[in-house]
Structure 1
Amino acid sequence: MTEHTLTVAGVAVDTRHWIGGERIASAETFTDVSPIDGSVIGEISRGTEAEAAAAVAAAKAAFPGWAATPRAERARVLHAIADGVEKRIEDLAIVETTDNGALLRSHRRGVMPRVAHNFRFFADWLLNLEHGDFETRGHTNHVSWDPAGPSVLITPWNAPLMLSTWKVAPALAAGNTVVLKPAEWTPLTASLLADIAAEAGLPAGVLNIVQGYGSEIGDALTSHPDVRRISFTGSVPTAKRITASAAANLTPLSLELGGKSPLLVFADADLDLAVDLAVEQYDNAGQVCLAATRILVEESVAEEFTRRFTEKAATIVQGDPRDEATDIGPNIHERQLEKIDGFVRRALDAGARAVVGGRRGEGQYYAPTLLTDVAQDSEIVQEEVFGPVLTLQTFTTEEEAVRLANDTRFGLAATLATGDRDRAARVTERLVAGTVWVNCFFVRDLQAPFGGSRHSGVGREGGTWSFDFYCDLKNTVTAPKGWKDHG
C-alpha cells in the first residue's frame, strides 16, 4: 500500500484523481466519512481548477483517436469494462455500502450487476444504431451520429456508481471522451471504475476522474470552451448554476433534477399492492429522486389504507446496511439529516401529524415517517426532502387527484394504483411526469426515455435518446446524378 491508497473493508482504493491515464495527487485533501457509523474512511485528493483543466485537456487530446475508433472496437472495450465490473462486484458492493450507506445486499444483487449492464446495453445499442435511409425527390438522406467531443458528467451520491455509469457508458459508446466528477460524499467506487476501465484497455485520456467540491471545480469544468456536452444529476439550484456557466459556450446540457412525485391510490385499487408500493418509497432511506413521496388516497379508503400502511411500516428493519436483515440504512451525511429533520419539525409545528415516525434515530438514521394533515401549499408537500418522509392527502374525485398530483413545480415521475384500465389510461395521459408507473414501481428499461418535466430536468436519455444527446446528428443528402464512372 502507498500513502495514496485506502483499505476499505479489505479493498484497496486509490485516493488520487485519474487524468490522462495516470494517477494525480492534489496538494489538499478532503475527508470521506462513512454514514454507517460516522467513522473516517480516509483523505481524498481535493481537485482544483488546475486538475479540472488538466482533465479536460486530456479528454480533448484523446478525443480524435477515440472518436475515430470503429464502433465494433468501442463496443468491445465497453463489454470488457462490464466483464471487469462483474469480476469485482463484491469489492464494488462493500466499498459503496461503506461510502454511502445503501444496503449491501442491494449492491450485490441489483446495483452492481446493473452497472455492468449499463456498459453492455449501450455497447450493443451502438452496434445497431441506425435510422434507415429515405428518399426526397430522388435524393438519398442518410442520418449519422457523430461524436460530439469531451463530455463533463457530474453525478450524485445516492447511487454513485450506477448513476455515473448510466452517463459514462453512453458517452463512451458515442465516441466521446469523459471527465467524470463524482459527488464528494461518495468518491470511492469511481476510483475503482478507473482501475477497471484501464485494465479493460480503454485508452488513456478517454475517461478522466476529478474528485473534489463542486463549488471549487464545478465552474472550471462546466464553463470550459473545450467541453461539448454536460450531463448533471442533482439539485435544481446547482443545475441553474451549471446552466449559467455553460451558457457562454452554448454547451448542450442534460439535467436530471429533483422530484416530488405522487402516488395516486384509487378506491378500486388492490389496497395491499398499493400499501406495498407506498412502503417501497422508503427504499434507500428515501434517498431516491423518483420516490413517490406524496401519497394521494381516495377518501373512501384512506382510513383502511392508513391502517394497513402503519402495520406494514412497523415491520421495516432499520440498521446497519451490511446486515442482510436490514431494510433501511442511514442517511448520507449529518448535514442531510439536519435538513430532513428540519423539514419534519417545521411541518409538525405547522399542524401536521406524524402517523409513523417523525423523529431522528441514533447516529445518521432517520425513522421512516408518514405525515398527515398537511396543506397542499405547505413546504413539506411542495419541496423535495430526500429522506424517508412521506405525506398523505386525500381526494374525492379523479379530477381532484390529477390536480393535486400535478400541483408542484416538479414532474419527474408518478405512480398510480387502480383496478380500472380505462381510469389508468385517462389519468396517466394527464399526469405531468417523465415516467409513470401503473400498479408497479421502479421498473426501468435502458431503452426507454428517462428524464423529468418542469423543474425536474431538461432532456431525455436512454436508448437512442442518449446517443442523440452525446452526438451531433448529421443528415447527408446525396443527389442521384453528377457521378463519374471510374470503372
Structure 2
Amino acid sequence: MTQLKDYRQFYINGQWVNPAVARDLEVIDPSTEQAVAVISLGDQVDTDAAVAAAKAAFPAWAATAPETRLAYVEKILEIYNRRAQDMADAISLEMGAPQDMSLADQFDCGVYHIENFIEAFKNFEFVRPLKDGNDDSMVAWEPVGVVAAITPWNWPMNQVTLKVIPAILAGDTVVLKPSEIAPLSSIVWTEIMHEAGLPAGVYNMVNGDGLGVGTQLSVHPDVAMVSFTGSTRAGIAITKASADTVKKVVLELGGKGANLVFADADADAVARGVRHCFYNSGQSCNAPTRMLVERSFYDKAVEIAKQVAEETTVDVAFKEGAHIGPVISKLQWDKIQDLIQAGIDEGATLVAGGTGLPEHLSEGYFVRPTVFANVTNEMGIARNEIFGPVLAIIPFDTEEEAVAVANDTIYGLTNYVQTSDLERRRRLSRLLQAGMVEMNGKSRARGAAFGGVKASGRAREGGVYGLEEFMDSKFISGWSENS
C-alpha cells in the first residue's frame, strides 16, 4: 500500500501544530478514487486556539502602517509565483483539475486577484472626506477584527486569495478553514504565508468540516466576521449560527446562470457558452448552465451544442491537454447522475452525454458532457445547481420572455447576453437580476467585484470593493480646524 502523505498539522500562531485530538480524514484523488493524503479534522480546542491567536495578534496588526501590510502581500505574491507548480499539482490531485488548466487558471487566478488587490490598495484612502470640498465630515475605513474565511473545493486559490489577502491588507487577522475534501492547496498556501514571515497569529489555518470547525467559527464570540463561499444551504446555516453574536457575514453562494442567445449573436456565441458551462467540469457557481435561445436560431444552437459536447474530451487530471477532469467526489458524482436521469424522466431531449462513466474510463468520478434540449424552466435540470458539465437549452420567442425565464430562479450570480444589438445589451444588463452580467464573451474588467444577489449571496469580492468588504466604515464630524 502506498504511504499516504501526512498533512495532519494545523497552522496556529505562526507554527505548525498537532491537532488536540486525532480525527483523520483521507484525501481522495477523484481521478483514481484512491487516497493520496491524510489530514486531521479540527476540534473545538483547535478552533479556540486559532481564534485566540488571531485575537491576540489583532491590535498590533491593525495598528501597522498600510505600507507594511502591503510589503507582506507583495512578498506573498513573489513566493506564490515561485510555488506555481506545487500549487497546480496540489489542485490537480485534490479536486481533479487537469494539469494544464490547473496551472493556467486554477493557480493563475490567485496571481490575478493578489495583483488587483495590490493595485487597489496602493490608492486606497483609509480616511477620506464624505463629500468633495468638505473636510469636516470624514469616512474612516477600519479593520473588522478576527475574520473566519471558509472556502470551497472547486476553485481553491480563487477563494482563498479573495478572502485572506484583502483581510490582512485591511488590518484584520484570519483563521482559514479550507474545504476538508480539497485541503492540499491550502497547505501549500499556508507554507507560502509562513515563508512570507507574517507576525504570529495574523494568519492561521485549521482543517475541519462544516459541522465542526465551520460551525465553531460561526458561533465563536471572538470572531467578528465570517466570509463564506459554498452552497446556499450551508450559507443559510452559517448566517443562522452567526446571528447570536451579531457577526458580519458575507456570503458567495450558488448560481444557475442564464445565457441569453439571440439570433443576431456572433458565430461563436453558442460554442463559447457550451465550453464555459463545461469548464472545470461544470464546477463553477457562475457557469452558464441555462442557455436561452431565440426560437428562430434554436435548432441550429442545439446542433452546435451537441457537436461541442461530443468534441469535449474527459480524462484524468495528470495528463496534458485541454480535456475536462473528474468531479470532486463520489457524493457529487451520484448527485449529478440522479439529476441527469431526472432530466430524462421529465421529458427533456437528451442531445449528448447522459448517465454513467465515459466509455474509455472505468474508474474516477467522471461525468459525460451532457446537453438537454426542449427544456422548460420548471424542470429540475433548469432549477437545481447541478455543479457538473450539464447544459439545459430553453427556447424563447421574445426578449420579455427571455428576461422572465432568466429571472425565474432563486439564484442571481451571473447572467450572460449574446446579441449584436447595443441597445438590447444595455437594456438587458439592467433587467437581469444578477450581481454580474457578461455580454458577448467579454470578461469583466480588472478590479470588478465578483458577487451576486438573492440566494447567490451578496458578497462583493475583488478589487477595491473586496477591500471594503473586510472593513467597517466610520463616519466622523468635526474633523477640520474650524470645528
With the length of structure 2 as denominator, give the TM-score of the two structures: 0.94
Q: Does 1:21 align with 2:22?
A: no
Pair 197,135 (structure 1): closer, same or farther in 2 beyond 3 Å: closer
Please give the secondary structure, in 1, of the residue aligned with 2:474: strand
Give the paired residue count: 473
In 1: Cα distance, 2:134 partner to 2:112 partner:
42
Equivalence map 1:319-468=2 (5 Å): 319-361=315-357, 362=362, 363-440=364-441, 443-468=443-468
**Which residue number in structure 2 is paired with residue 189 of structure 1?**
185
- In structure 2, stretches of 5+ residues that fail to align are none
Equivalence map 1:46-195=2 (5 Å): 46-130=41-125, 132-133=128-129, 140-195=136-191
Please give the secondary structure, in 2, of the residue aligned with 1:253: strand
* Offset at residue 444 of structure 1 (A): 4.3
The alignment's C-alpha RMSD in Å is 1.9
* Offset at residue 115 of structure 1 (A): 1.4
Matching residue within 279, 286, 308 for 1:283: 279
Pair 231,53 (structure 1): closer, same or farther in 2 beyond 3 Å: same
Q: Does 1:215 align with 2:216?
A: no
In 2: Cα distance, 1:404 partner to 1:357 partner:
25
Q: Does 1:250 align with 2:246?
A: yes
CA contact (8 A) 1:262 1:415 kept: yes
**Which residue number in structure 2 is paired with residue 37 of structure 1?**
32
* Offset at residue 450 of structure 1 (A): 2.0
* Offset at residue 315 of structure 1 (A): 1.5
Identity %, equivalent residues: 36
Task: Read off the aligned partner of 1:289 and give its amino acid letter.
Answer: C
Please give the secondary structure, in 1, of the residue aligned with 2:347: coil
In 2: Cα distance, 1:370 partner to 1:85 partner:
38
Pair 198,408 (structure 1): closer, same or farther in 2 beyond 3 Å: same
CA contact (8 A) 2:302 2:373 kept: no
In 2: Cα distance, 1:95 partner to 1:293 partner:
27
Please give the secondary structure, in 2, of the residue aligned with 1:126: helix
Please give the secondary structure, in 2, of the residue aligned with 1:458: coil
* Offset at residue 279 of structure 1 (A): 2.6
Task: Read off the aligned partner of 1:167 and give its amino acid letter.
Answer: K
In 2: Cα distance, 1:31 partner to 1:453 partner:
36
- In structure 1, stretches of 5+ residues that fail to align are 8-12
CA contact (8 A) 2:100 2:321 kept: no
In 2: Cα distance, 1:370 partner to 1:392 partner:
8
In 2: Cα distance, 1:306 partner to 1:230 partner:
42
Please give the secondary structure, in 2, of the residue aligned with 1:41: strand
CA contact (8 A) 2:128 2:140 kept: no
**1:9-37 Cα distance to aligned partner (Å, 9 max, x none):** xxxx7431111111122222111100011
CA contact (8 A) 1:253 1:458 kept: no
Please give the secondary structure, in 1, of the residue aligned with 2:251: strand
**1:315-346 Cα distance to aligned partner (Å, 9 max, x none):** 11110122222421001000000000011111
CA contact (8 A) 2:31 2:365 kept: yes
In 2: Cα distance, 1:141 partner to 1:316 partner:
58
Task: Read off the aligned partner of 2:67 and give its amino acid letter.
Answer: A
**Which residue number in structure 2 is paired with residue 10 of structure 1?**
none
After superposing the two structures, state which structure 1 stretch, 82-91 or 310-319, moved more.
310-319
CA contact (8 A) 1:152 1:231 kept: yes
* Offset at residue 481 of structure 1 (A): 5.4
With the length of structure 1 as denominator, give the TM-score of the two structures: 0.93
Runs of 4+ deviating beyond 3 Å: 134-139, 479-483
Matching residue within 210, 227, 233 for 1:237: 233
